[in-house]
């Protein structure tokens, strides 16, 4: 796909999110990716969860028995096993997670009464599909195997992610269903990557949006699938996938986001299959708004996500 006509538009972004308007990128170069990941890897180890949660790092076996890290967020005061949330960060399958991922996840964990497992899966282009997916699947197996040590209720494990992490969450949910005949309790998706075909109206429209746009989306898919799909495309791109028996799902989208229509179409597909879906289509927003973690806008998002996990969110 080649976006020859670049539309330069003025987006009416929520005043709390306007700090993101200056973050415009044309392409993820090798140098930019290396510098960004170095800084993110450095900063994330200085991340601290919110009061009431504690953080521990484990090394586990990922895909092909290679080591990956998981960050475990646990309630400081815990008398009984907690429900668990496995979380997969966004970043175009190419960038590490950020301190705000840890911070927001700890808020959701505290408010919803869950312990959380944050997975540092391996990244493209060095590790293209299916590395990130299979690393994330192995993290689920590790959580199940170590449920007693982690003090979690194995019957109540949910999975979620933002952007590319949302894509991985869907893929892992499908793998768990097909390989293990098991199901997650719930799935949380925040402006998720859904469709490698890149054919929606929002893809065509949003070629220059802040943080993420259709040009970056094209580059992302080229990097992620550079070695092909190995006959597993249904676990990477989901509009033609079998989504039967998919868990109850929460989906957020952003108005000025090239991925917006994919998220909406995915929600409709799930509803057609009688999956219970909760939707929050945010207005005057852009991809990656989780980064403005201190805003009232994000406080409402955290509240809704936590309510969904608690089973008290209203449609």
pLDDT for 267 equals: 98
Task: Round to the nearest angstrom and report the end-to-end CA distance of the chain.
Answer: 36
- What is the per-residue pLDDT across 222-237, written as a single tens digit (0 to 9) for each? 999 999 999 999 999 9
Does the pTM exceed 0.85? yes
- Residues 6+ away with beta carbon under 8 Å from 102: 44, 47, 48, 49, 55, 71, 73, 118
CA distance 127 to 67: 13
Q: Which residues of the chain have pLDDT under 50?
A: 1-6
Domains of the chain: 15-310 (3.40.50.1820)
pLDDT for 9 equals: 66
- What is the per-residue pLDDT across 85-132, written as a single tens digit (0 to 9) for each? 999 999 999 999 998 999 999 999 999 999 999 999 999 999 999 999
pLDDT for 4 equals: 40
- Residues 6+ away with beta carbon under 8 Å from 169: 86, 88, 136, 159, 160, 161, 187, 188, 189, 192
pLDDT for 131 equals: 98
């Amino acid at each position: 796909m080649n976006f020859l006509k670049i539309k330069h538009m003025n987006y009416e972004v929520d005043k709390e999110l306007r700090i993101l308007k200056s973050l415009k990128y044309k392409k993820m170069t090798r140098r930019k990716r290396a510098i960004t990941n170095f800084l993110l890897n450095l900063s994330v180890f200085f991340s601290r969860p919110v009061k009431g949660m504690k953080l521990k790092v484990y090394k586990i076996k990922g895909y092909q028995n290679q080591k990956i890290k998981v960050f475990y967020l646990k309630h400081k005061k815990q008398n009984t096993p907690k429900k668990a949330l496995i979380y997969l960060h966004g970043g175009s399958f190419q960038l590490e997670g950020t301190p705000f991922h840890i911070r927001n996840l700890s808020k959701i964990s505290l408010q919803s009464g869950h312990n959380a497992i944050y997975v540092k899966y391996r990244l493209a282009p060095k590790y293209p599909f299916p590395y990130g997916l299979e690393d994330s699947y192995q993290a689920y197996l590790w959580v199940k195997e170590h449920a007693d040590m982690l003090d979690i209720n194995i019957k109540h494990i949910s999975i979620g992610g933002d952007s590319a992490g949302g894509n991985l969450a869907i893929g892992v949910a499908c793998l768990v269903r097909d390989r293990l005949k098991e199901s997650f309790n719930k799935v949380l998706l925040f402006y998720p990557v859904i469709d490698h075909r890149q054919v929606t109206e929002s893809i065509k429209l949003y070629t220059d949006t802040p943080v993420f746009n259709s040009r970056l989306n094209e580059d992302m898919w080229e990097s992620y699938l550079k070695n092909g799909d190995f006959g597993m495309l249904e676990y990477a791109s989901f509009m033609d996938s079998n989504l039967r028996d998919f868990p109850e799902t929460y989906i957020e989208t952003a108005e000025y986001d090239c991925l917006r229509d994919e998220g909406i179409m995915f929600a409709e597909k799930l509803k057609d299959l009688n999956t219970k879906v909760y939707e929050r289509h945010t207005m005057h927003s852009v991809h990656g708004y989780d980064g403005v973690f201190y805003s009232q806008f994000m406080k409402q998002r955290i509240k809704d996500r936590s309510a969904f996990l608690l089973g008290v969110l209203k449609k």
